[in-house]
């Protein structure tokens, strides 16, 4: 018998980490405080999420990204974090292309995809 997790269940798992805020960070945060304060260089509200079939299989969730996000601290960005303010939850962290940011400027945060593969 083949292993299977229905797409509806994978979508629920993906929805579990859909946060409300996005943060550009100078290091990999492992807590809400690190993402929102310690390593935070720029923050914005999260754009929309879109679920679809994953590649090569499973399901994926694409976070739309933002444009013109205000930079509040100077530093080198190398991670992006998603948080939920209610409950102070760090939802997920992804790497980013290293980029020097200067306080007072703006940064565009590109879209990114996280994928749950089908069981094997």
Residue-wise pLDDT for 55-91, tens only, equals 999 999 999 989 999 999 999 999 999 999 999 999 9
Q: Is 70 exceeded by the pLDDT of residue 106?
A: yes
Residue 30, both tokens: 């492992």
Instruction: Indicate the pTM of the whole model.
Output: 0.91
Give CA–CA dist 47/67, Å, rounded.
10
Q: Give the CA count within 13 Å in the CB-facing half-sphere of 39.
A: 22
Q: Is 70 exceeded by the pLDDT of residue 1?
A: no
Q: Is 90 exceeded by the pLDDT of residue 2?
A: no
The residue whose two tokens read 């798992």 is 13
Domain boundaries, the chain: 7-108
Please give the torsion angle defined by the CA atoms of residues 52, 117, 12 and 39, in that order, rounded to the nearest 10 degrees.
-90
- Give yes or no for a contact between 76 and 101, defined as CB atoms under 8 angstroms apart: yes
Residues in CB range of 105: below 8 A, 6 or more apart:
71
Q: What's the whole-number average pLDDT of the chain?
A: 95
47 confidence band (pLDDT: 50, 70, 90): confident
**DSSP letter assigned to residue 118:** P
User: How many helices (H) and strands (E) would you count in the chain?
Assistant: 2, 9
């Amino acid at each position: 018998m083949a292993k299977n997790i229905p797409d509806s269940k994978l979508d629920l798992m993906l929805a579990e980490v859909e946060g409300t805020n996005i943060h550009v960070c100078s290091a990999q945060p492992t807590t809400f405080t690190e993402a929102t304060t310690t390593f935070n260089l720029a923050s914005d509200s999260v754009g929309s999420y879109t679920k679809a079939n994953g590649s090569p299989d499973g399901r994926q969730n694409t976070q739309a990204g933002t444009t013109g996000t205000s930079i509040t601290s100077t530093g080198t960005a190398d991670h992006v974090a998603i948080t939920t303010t209610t409950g102070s939850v760090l939802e997920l962290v992804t790497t980013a292309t290293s980029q020097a940011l200067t306080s007072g400027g703006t940064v565009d945060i590109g879209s990114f995809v996280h994928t749950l593969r089908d069981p094997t």
